[in-house]
Amino acid sequence: MKKVMLQGGTMVVAALATTSVLLSQAALSAEPSYSVVSPLGEDTVKMIEMAPRLDTLSNKTVCMVSNNDFKTNITMPVIEKALKDAYPGIKVVPYTEFPTAFSGTRWEEVRGVYKTKGCQAVISGNGG
């Protein structure tokens, strides 16, 4: 809503996108007021802090993990080339050297694979 000052006082101008109608302050204050309850409910997931972000990908080891969706064999090599073009000294470990991304089972096992490959960042999935 936008307020416009006039010599005789203030008039609120409400531009309705579909009709381009202008309403006066009196017409706006005549509108009923409603109380509503949000249908979203309470948060049930415990929020955690994100890991610190890298300041750059230059001279870092980035590991790519596939979710086997949407032509991974085409998109992941293109992403790898784009990263190498943009960040000098980057080392990209291809998705073919990792197990497929998954929903959380065997997490400790996969974390160990990331560590042995020297991952400093992980790109997981590629659409779908």
Model pLDDT, residue 28:
64
Report the distance separating Cα 106 and Cα 55, nearest Å.
30
H-run or E-run covering 109: helix 107-116
Model pLDDT, residue 121:
93
Q: Give the domain ranges of the chain.
A: 1-29, 61-124
The rounded average pLDDT for each run of 10 residues, N- to C-terminus, in the chain (128 residues) is 42 40 62 82 84 94 87 90 97 90 70 90 78
Model pLDDT, residue 13:
38
Per-residue CA distances from 33 to 13, 29, 53 (Å): 19, 9, 45
